[in-house]
Amino acid sequence: MNRLRSLSLHAPHLPAATVAGIAVLVTLLTTNKMTEAKHHKQKTAVTAKISKRATIVFAIHDIPQGLRIDRKALAERQISVSGLPPTVVHSAAAAVGHVCKHGLSVGQLVTAEEIF
């Protein structure tokens, strides 16, 4: 008799507990899907940024400070934009004729700060 009475006392609370359990389950599933979507979006953005390429200009000969830059001293190359300084020169023609402020070493990127 005691078991039957115990069951009848908890019976009205059973539907509320079931609804609460379902609500928690739906919340967890929805949050998980939102997190997966956000992660996918971030991953896609990073991949796009890494795969994006730009033309850069670099010195193929040492260029001393104060020397006017000649086309023969520069080369262009396509590389990933990831990690490039924002002031990098994207065309050798844009740097030719300018004066080198601080001197450039072989392989050094040509930036707006290095020429005038």
The tokens for 41 are: 């979006």
Rounded Cα distance, 8 and 104, in Å: 87
Please name the residue that has the structure tokens 């601080």.
Answer: 102
- Among the listed ranges 14-18, 27-31, 41-45, 69-73, which one has the minimum average pLDDT value? 14-18
59 or 3, which is more confident = 59
Q: Which are the contacts of 112, defined by CB distance < 8 A and separation ≥ 6?
A: 87, 89
Question: What is the per-residue pLDDT across 86-104, written as a single tens digit (0 to 9) for each?
Answer: 999 999 999 999 999 999 9
Q: Is the pLDDT of residue 59 over 90?
A: yes
Band (11; pLDDT cuts 50, 70, 90): low
> Looking at this protein, which amino acid is placed at residue 114?
E
Question: Token digits for 50?
Answer: 């890494």
* Mean pLDDT along residues 60-81: 94
- Report domain extents, the chain: 2-49, 53-114
Distance from CA of residue 76 to its chain's centroid?
24
Considering the entire predicted model, what is its pTM?
0.57
Backbone φ, ψ for residue 88 (5° rounding): -65, 140
Lowest mean pLDDT among 23-27, 63-67, 97-101: 23-27
Q: Compute, in degrees rounded to 10, the torsion defined by CA atoms 56, 61, 62, 67.
A: -80
Q: What is the CATH number of domain 53-114?
A: 3.90.1210.10
What pLDDT does 68 receive?
Answer: 96
Burial class (CB in 10 A: 0-12, 13-18, 19+), 73: buried
